[in-house]
Homo-oligomer: A and B are copies of this chain.
């Protein structure tokens, strides 16, 4: 059994449950006789390069457990991309130096596809250098676009937020006796999983009429026809637009109007705004009705107050299972979920070779999108609904969220 110290890092955009993976991994590591010291890097790989590691052994268990209900990345995140080691090895040398200094034998990195790429490169480098270290990726992303796993921790909570919020907005937008067109923008730069989740609201009778995903080319002409058809039939129109939608030339929605060169802010800066905002301007031009653009912004990825309890638990178990696999001797893998049954819903923890998920993107299957490319079909509902079941359980104080309060003591 490989004995030594452990370091954990968080990378990329945060989610409502990324800290739950941290809680699962770190509390299990603290209890393991094979892990001597447990560290967390400040701002992921950047903290390793800077030798800024927090000593988790100094934290109270109560606070570490509160991480399961604390959104965002408790130890700080980064978007740092390591160079190709064939071109520039300097950062890898530095990582090895820091690992040797602290006798790091277990390295866990929690993030998306870029993170898995970083993990794999580090794993290969350390192996070549003859330094024994188990390198493991733990998935997280509201985008749900990692290959090799049934779904990603973080997605279900964001989906629950998106579907619930669509239902509430739908009711709110209906109250007056005139028609209204509401366009809601959902995150997802390359994959439409999260935008597609709005169909869960439609499934409950209070969701969008039209849903556009980046998986299909976006056409303004078709969009106008679609909106008109719904408007003529029902009056009110509710649209879900993924921020990642592009036309067949690869332009994002705001870029489709960039040649008009008209959109400037009060300071003369060209401003494209978001997809919803831009489409709302377009629709106002074409229809004589009230139009409103809504952007969920950061809320969709940090709304721990409506996190899926299944997601919180799976994120925790992913951290725990990642460590257990590493203790068994496995390395150079990402922890993944294999769904063995949908009814009752059941998953198993699996290992996915890092090369199979690094830098790759899993998009919504084409057959889960309707032919017109403006709605999502039943298989998506069957896939997503089991992931958002149950009511969020959390400890509150004064009717407000209670977040982990960590000491963050740096290791010398």
Contacts of A262 in B (CB 8 A): 264-268
A129 within 8 A of B: no
Residue A372 interfacial (CB < 8 Å): no
Residue contact A71 to B172, C-beta cutoff 8 Å = yes
Contacts of A401 in B (CB 8 A): 164, 167-168, 204
Contact of A163 among B10, B164, B281, B400 (CB under 8 A): B400
Report the Cα distance A254→B396, complex, angstroms: 37
User: Given the complex of chains A and B, what is the CA–CA distance between A273 and B265 in angstroms?
Assistant: 9
Q: In the complex the two chains form, is A266's CB within 8 Å of B295's CB?
A: no
A285: chain B residues within 8 A (beta carbon): 267, 269
A221 touches B (CB below 8 Å): no
Q: Which residues of B contact A278 (CB under 8 A)?
A: 265-266
Task: Kindly list chain B residues whose C-beta atoms are within 8 Å of the C-beta of A302.
Answer: 168-169, 171-172
CA distance A174 to B70 in the complex (A): 13
Q: For the complex, count residues of A whose C-beta is within 8 A of B.
A: 74
Contact B306 A171 (CB under 8 A): no
Q: Does A411 contact B (CB under 8 A)?
A: no
Query: Which of chain A's residues 295-320 have a Cβ closer than 8 Å to chain B?
Result: 295, 297-299, 301-306, 308
Q: A176-B79, A200-B400, A385-B398 are in contact. Are A168 and B263 (CB under 8 A)?
A: no
Q: Assess whether B171 is in contact with A71, with CB atoms less than 8 Å apart.
A: yes
A303 to B296, CA, bound (A): 13
Q: Which of A316-336 contact B (CB under 8 A)?
A: none
Note all chain B residues with C-beta closer than 8 A to A389: 398-399
Given contacts A160-B399, A169-B299, A73 and B266 within 8 Å (CB-CB):
no
User: Do the beta carbons of A282 and B260 come within 8 Å of each other?
Assistant: no
Q: Which residue of B lies closest to A168 (CB)?
A: B302
Which residues in B have their C-beta under 8 angstroms from that of A43?
176-177
Whether B175 and A72, one on each chain, are in contact in the complex, defined by CB atoms closer than 8 angstroms, is yes
Check A168 against B71 for contact (C-beta < 8 Å): yes
Q: 1/0 per position for A156-189, CB-CB distance to B under 8 A? A: 0000100111011101111111000000000000
Return chain B residues, CB-CB under 8 Å to A265: 262-263, 273, 278, 281
Q: Is A390 an interface residue (CB 8 A)?
A: yes
Cβ of A298: which chain B residues have Cβ within 8 Å of it?
168-169, 172-173, 292, 294
Q: Chain A, 267-299, contact with B by CB distance < 8 Å: what is the 0/1 string? A: 111010100001001101100000010110111
The smallest beta-carbon distance between A178 and chain B, in angstroms, is 10
Hey, which bits of chain A sit against chain B, CB under 8 A? Answer: 10, 14, 42-43, 46, 70-73, 76-79, 160, 163-165, 167-169, 171-177, 200-201, 204, 206, 257, 260, 262-269, 271, 273, 278, 281-282, 284-285, 292, 294-295, 297-299, 301-306, 308, 385, 388-391, 394, 396-401, 403
